[in-house]
Amino acid sequence: MSQPAAPDHANPPHNSSSAASVPSQVFRQVVEQAALAISITDADARILYANPTFERVTGYSQAEVTGHNESILSYRVTPKIVYETLWAQLKRQRPWNGMLVNRRRDGSRYLADLTISPVVDENGNTTHYLGMHRDVTEVHRLERQVQNHKALIESVVDAAQVAIVLLDEDERVLLDNHAYKKLIGELGQEPAATLMAALRAQIGPGFDTLRANRRGLSNRELLIEQPGRAPRWFACSISWFEEQDVSADAFYEPARRHYLLLTIQDISELKRQQEAIRINGLHALMAEQERIQGLREALAGAVYQLEGPLNLLAAAVKLLDRRKEADGDAALAAALDDAVRQGREALDTLRASIPDDAGEQAQSVDLNTVLRDLLKLATPRLLAAGIVVDWQPAALLPPIAGRPTQLCTLFKQLIDNAVEALTEARGGPRELRVATLAAADHVEVVVEDSGPGVPEEWRFKVFQPFFTTKGADQHHLGMGLAIAQEVVARHGGTLDVDPAHRAGCRMRVQLPIGGARP
List residues near ligand FAD by CB under 6 A: 39, 41, 44-45, 69-71, 73-74, 78, 83-84, 87, 100, 102, 112, 114, 116, 129, 131, 133
Q: Are 112 and 132 in contact (CB under 8 A)?
A: no
Considering the complex, what minimum distance in angstroms separates the CB of residue 111 from ligand FAD? 11
Q: Cβ 29 to ligand FAD, closest distance in Å?
A: 21
The least distance separating ligand FAD from the CB of residue 49, rounded to whole angstroms, comes to 11
Q: In angstroms, what is the minimal distance from the CB of 114 to ligand FAD? A: 5
Name the residue nearer to ligand FAD (CB basis): 108 or 364: 108
- Residue 422: name the closest of 447, 458, 446, 445 by CA: 447
Q: Between 129 and 234, whose beta carbon lies closer to ligand FAD?
A: 129
In the complex, the smallest distance separating the C-beta of residue 145 from ligand FAD, rounded to whole angstroms, is 25
Decide the pairing of beta strands 388-392 and 431-438: parallel
Q: Which is nearer to ligand FAD, 49 or 467 (CB)?
A: 49
Task: Tell me if 414 sits within 8 A of 435, measured CB to CB.
Answer: no
User: Cα(263)–Cα(192) distance, rounded to whole angstroms?
Assistant: 9
User: Phi and psi for 113 in degrees, rounded to 5?
Assistant: -95, 100
What's the min distance (Å) between Cβ of 107 and ligand FAD?
Answer: 15
- SS3 percent helix, strand, coil of the chain, rounded to 5, is 45, 25, 30
Q: How far is the CB of 42 from ligand FAD (least distance, A)?
A: 9
Instruction: Identify which of 308, 293, 300, 234 has the alpha carbon closest to the alpha carbon of residue 465.
Output: 300
**DSSP reduced 3-state for 474:** coil
DSSP letter assigned to residue 69? B
Taking the least distance from each CB to ligand FAD, the nearer of 44 and 325 is 44
Residue 247 DSSP one-character state: S
Helix (H, G, I), strand (E, B) or coil at 98: strand
For 110, the 3-state DSSP assignment is strand
Beta strands 217-224; 256-266: pairing state: unpaired
Q: Which is nearer to ligand FAD, 87 or 304 (CB)?
A: 87
Which residue lies nearer to ligand FAD by CB, 106 or 170? 106
- Chain centre distance of CA 139: 41
Minimum CB distance to ligand FAD smaller for 68 or for 318? 68
CA distances from 411 to 21, 129, 216, 443, 513 (A): 100, 92, 38, 14, 17
Rounded to an integer, what distance in angstroms lies between the CA atom of residue 81 and that of residue 314? 120
DSSP, collapsed to helix, strand or coil, labels residue 150 as helix
Q: In the 8-state DSSP scheme, what is residue 481?
A: H
- Closer by beta carbon to ligand FAD, 121 or else 457: 121
CA distance 234 to 480: 38
315's CB contacts (< 8 A; 6+ apart) are none
Closer by beta carbon to ligand FAD, 58 or else 510: 58
Q: Cβ of residue 38: shortest distance to ligand FAD, in angstroms? A: 9
CB-hemisphere CA count at 13 Å for 428? 16
Measured from the CB atom, is 44 or 356 closer to ligand FAD?
44
Q: How far is the CB of 212 from ligand FAD (least distance, A)?
A: 56
DSSP 224-270: E--TTS--EEEEEEEEEEEEE--SGGGSSS--EEEEEEEEEEE-HHH
Minimal distance in Å, beta carbon 24 to ligand FAD?
Answer: 22
DSSP string, 373-407: HHHHHHHHHHHHTTPEEEEE--SS---EEE-HHHH
Q: Which is nearer to ligand FAD, 89 or 268 (CB)?
A: 89
Q: Which is nearer to ligand FAD, 133 or 491 (CB)?
A: 133
Q: How far is the CB of 96 from ligand FAD (least distance, A)?
A: 9
CB 271, CB 249: distance < 8 Å: no
Partner residues linked to 511 by β-bridges: 443
For the bound state, the minimum distance from the C-beta of residue 220 to ligand FAD, rounded and expressed in Å, comes to: 59
Shortest distance in whole angstroms from residue 19 CB to ligand FAD: 21
Nearer to ligand FAD, 92 or 502 (CB): 92
Q: Rounded distance, CA 13 to CA 16, Å?
A: 8
Query: How many residues are given for the chain?
Result: 518
